[in-house]
Amino acid sequence: MEMVQQVLSCCESLDSDLSVFLDTSESDYFVYIGLCLLERVSINPEDLHHKMLMGRLYNGGAKISLLRKRFNHDPRTIVMWANALKSSDIDEITKAFSGRSAQKKVIPALIAYVHQQYRNRATMGRNYRKIIITRTKEVFGVQISPSLASELFKGAKKHPDESESNTDEKDKNMEITGHSRPNSSSNSDTTVQPSPCFPFMTCDFLHTDSTLVQHAGLVLFGYALQGYDSFQRQVICQLLQGALNIESSKSLCADSLLFFCQKVDRVLRTQREKLDTFATSENILDLYAKNSTLLTDGPNNGSIFYFDPHSKKYTGQLKTMKGWCGSAHSVSKIVNLDSFHTFSGRPCYIQHFSPYYDMRERFFMSLKQFDLLFDEDKRSGRTFVIDRGIYGVDCFLNFVDDYLITWEKNYDGSGWEENTKTIDFSRSKQKNSRSSNRNYHFECQESAWRRDKRFRRIIVKSTNYNDRTITVSILCSNPTMSIQDAVWAICNRWLQENDFKYLDVHFGINQLDSRSHIDFKSKADAFTDRDADTGEYRKLKKQTNTAERCLAKHLLKLNKGESKLKRISLERTVLESRNAGHSELKKVLETYKRCEKSVGKLIGLTSDLERVLQAAELEQSKTLHKESRIKQLVDGSYKILDLRRKAYMDALRINAANIFRNQLEEYRAISNNYRDDHLRLRMLTRCSGLIVHGIEEYKVRLWIPGSVQGHVIKSLELLLSIVESNINEQTPPSSSKLKLELISGPIES
């Protein structure tokens, strides 16, 4: 059996032949006597056999300092375990290995008494909790805390005949020990029940008189979080609180997230494992279907969509394929994120690709997946606005059921005719407020595109707010769309470009999320093969190009030298004809000789370069030109990044971004400040707060620290009143009402 690490050697001050190894999965210790396996013990420090092994090792002669260093246990605890093993008293052994639970103050009889008192709380009035705590102390002599009482009250709600599973037993033990939630180092999950009044919150809200919660601002997203399962809901909440990936979620408060998530995975390893399990194509598509419900102009509702091949630069050491990276303006190792946005600039789908395929191929591959978000009768007649990277007559022929708007590539500025009918119109964009507009003026002329009559060619003279005018050519295959709409659709496509930066900074769309990779060889069958230049041919072609450049440079010098030589020769002839002075004629002759010598050298170098070029071209013609592209990648041991986890996390990021943007649209109408509104809303949704349990209403008091201007406070309070009204409208009339309040500045105790 392969061992990855020897934890304890028999040579390290042991009087026996005991050795301890850690297995490859890092879940068990293997204990050997010499070369024979004695036992297999869990690495979990809470396991009984693990504790007994520590005691046996100490009793066997292992140094206490080594045991503390290798197994991370307190020396006094190890000595206690060792002494208990040497004793014959079963009570002492039970006490030593039971830990703190051996001295529990809450016994089953006390639990039954609290349950009985809780069921009769209607006769005790509003302060029933305090009364039950007082009566319990009088009967059992034990003072229980209000939080422990709340946990015991939960058990009273169960039906007496309800059978308890293993999980219920664990919950009961948790109640008995007085800990309402598991230790943060445990791999167990924390689960609570949803609130009967506000399903987007949990029952902890109902059983707390007054609790300070770190992420109380999540209450603003209310019912928007309901449609997701527990893991999705947790990750979206973490993203909304600034944790751009799973690793950075360690800075958040899991206990506070429990007020808005029915289940919280506290351990990062558990979150990673769930991410790996849930990252399937079906689950990813389901998340984008949920995202569509957040959009008013998304799939099934909108007819115009932006498409852009966003690229993320890969900076790792793996040998992966390269492509064009827009942010670096060069070719580098990248991951392609082909993104669809709505006409209003909201993200609605992202497909991940390696750089193997060209963008013109990837678009139609992505479109097949994007179509799954539409009803079957709505998968045609849409208009896609795409940058000039889609340009190609062969590619345009594939647009059969849908339409395309793009730029005419390599437009030379021709086509504008002064006597042709011109359509003038203007559009405006709001800058930082509703009153701050930037106006754009357009002059358009339309004709059929000579290369494909299906496309309308629209020549546009665009003048911006600085009176700067440019002329561009737009191709549109939609025959019914007005010129104004077609022109504005593509001129306003920077909505999508700006959203990439926003998604990266605030939601981590460029996070890789996993270092997992696979060999290209194992996925070669999934790619369509194509011909590519062989490595030797590329090398010879590079040599040929270098020789051509050098030859062209020397030919240019030779041409200039010969022209200069002719000019000097003519000057010499003129001087001789008019009997010029000896010194003047001598100077011209010296210049002529120098120039003649230089031209001679250039002729020789040019001849040599011509021979080198001819030899390189001959060698190139004899070399195999094309070979399989897949064969090249397999022989080159190329890797492919496993993007499943990133695709799933990006789908969650898109959902979180649109949930935030929906709330931002409400606040934007209130604040009328398009520069700072998202910053202020983010500050509010990430703030801490106080949750207070009342009789007729449940109050959430959100606290914004620091100094905030009065008009900002008023705008945020107005937003809270709108959110409060929306939540209470969706709450049953018989239920308590939710009250949202805002606190700013220092809080007095």
Q: Quick check: is 206 in a domain?
A: no
Confidence category of residue 191, pLDDT binned at 50, 70, 90: low
| Pairing of β 737-744 and β 697-704 | parallel
pLDDT single digits (tens) 394-421: 899 999 999 999 999 989 888 898 888 9
Q: Which of 468-472, 679-683, 695-699, 703-707 has the lowest mean pLDDT?
A: 695-699
Q: Three-state DSSP class for 10?
A: coil
Q: What's the pLDDT score for residue 171?
A: 44
pTM of the model: 0.69
Number of H helices, E strands in the chain: 22, 24
Boundaries of domain holding 544: 535-623
pLDDT single digits (tens) 630-656: 888 888 889 999 999 999 999 999 999
Distance CA 592, CA 573 (A): 12
Q: Quick check: is 438 in a domain?
A: yes
Measured torsion, CA atoms of residues 365, 369, 370, 375, in degrees rounded to the nearest 10: 130
Q: Three-state DSSP class for 534?
A: coil
Q: Quick check: is 440 in a domain?
A: yes
User: Quick one: average pLDDT of 412-440?
Assistant: 89
**What angle, 0 to 180 degrees and rounded to 10, lies between the N-to-C axes of helices 146-156 and 128-140?**
100
96 and 111 share one domain: no
Q: Quick check: is 499 in a domain?
A: no
Contact 316, 515 (CB under 8 A): yes
Q: Among 180, 205, 230, which residue terminates a domain? A: 180
7 and 89 share one domain: yes
User: Quick one: average pLDDT of 48-76?
Assistant: 85
CATH assignment of the domain containing 572: 1.10.287
Query: 346 or 164: whose pLDDT is higher?
Result: 346
Q: What's the pLDDT score for residue 122?
A: 67
Of the chain, the end-to-end C-alpha distance in Å amounts to 62
7 and 93 share one domain: yes
Residue 161 has pLDDT above 60, yes or no: no
Q: What's the pLDDT score for residue 180?
A: 38
113 and 79 share one domain: no
Task: Name the range with the highest mean pLDDT among 1-10, 19-28, 543-552.
Answer: 543-552
What is the percent of the chain with per-residue pLDDT over 90, rounded to a whole number?
36
Residue 282 has pLDDT above 50, yes or no: yes
**What angle, 0 to 180 degrees and rounded to 10, lies between the N-to-C axes of helices 535-577 and 582-622?**
160
Residue 166 has pLDDT above 50, yes or no: no
Q: Among 154, 180, 206, which residue terminates a domain? A: 180
Distance CA 292, CA 236 (A): 16
| 707, amino acid identity | S
Confidence category of residue 628, pLDDT binned at 50, 70, 90: confident
68 and 142 share one domain: no
Token pair for 623:
């070399």
Query: 113 or 198: whose pLDDT is higher?
Result: 113
Q: Quick check: is 456 in a domain?
A: yes
From residue 173, how far is each of 44, 47, 107, 165, 168 by CA, in Å? 19, 16, 10, 13, 9
119 and 75 share one domain: no
User: Quick one: average pLDDT of 215-220?
Assistant: 92
Please provide the average confidence, as pLDDT, over all residues in the chain: 84
pLDDT single digits (tens) 18-49: 888 888 777 888 888 877 888 888 888 888 88
Q: What's the pLDDT score for residue 14?
A: 58
Residue 170 has pLDDT above 60, yes or no: no
Distance CA 607, CA 612 (A): 9
Confidence category of residue 179, pLDDT binned at 50, 70, 90: very low
Distance CA 731, CA 699 (A): 15
Q: Among 103, 133, 166, which residue terminates a domain? A: 103
110 and 149 share one domain: yes
587 and 541 share one domain: yes
pLDDT single digits (tens) 355-376: 898 889 999 999 999 999 999 9
User: Quick one: average pLDDT of 700-729?
Assistant: 90
On the CB side of 649, CA atoms within 13 Å amount to: 27
Q: Quick check: is 522 in a domain?
A: no
Q: Which residues pair with 308 in a beta bridge?
A: 339
88 and 148 share one domain: no
64 and 123 share one domain: no
82 and 30 share one domain: yes
pLDDT single digits (tens) 91-102: 678 778 776 554
Residue 538 has pLDDT above 50, yes or no: yes
Q: What's the pLDDT score for residue 160?
A: 43
Q: Which of 377-381, 724-728, 729-733 has the lowest mean pLDDT?
A: 729-733
Q: What's the pLDDT score for residue 178?
A: 35
Q: Three-state DSSP class for 476?
A: strand
pLDDT single digits (tens) 109-152: 788 888 888 877 766 777 788 888 888 888 888 888 887 888 88
pLDDT single digits (tens) 229-251: 999 999 999 999 999 999 999 88
Q: What's the pLDDT score for residue 209?
A: 63
pLDDT single digits (tens) 606-619: 888 888 888 888 88
Token pair for 560:
């200039």
Q: What's the pLDDT score for residue 157?
A: 58
112 and 174 share one domain: yes
Q: What's the pLDDT score for residue 366?
A: 94
What is the percent of the chain with per-residue pLDDT over 70, rounded to a whole number?
89
Q: What's the pLDDT score for residue 163?
A: 39
Q: Quick check: is 506 in a domain?
A: no
Q: Quick check: is 411 in a domain?
A: yes
Q: Which residues pair with 324 in a beta bridge?
A: 331
| Pairing of β 437-448 and β 423-430 | antiparallel
Number of domains forming the structure of the chain: 4
Helices marked H in 141-244: 146-156, 166-177, 230-240
- Give Dmax over CA atoms of the chain in angstroms: 139
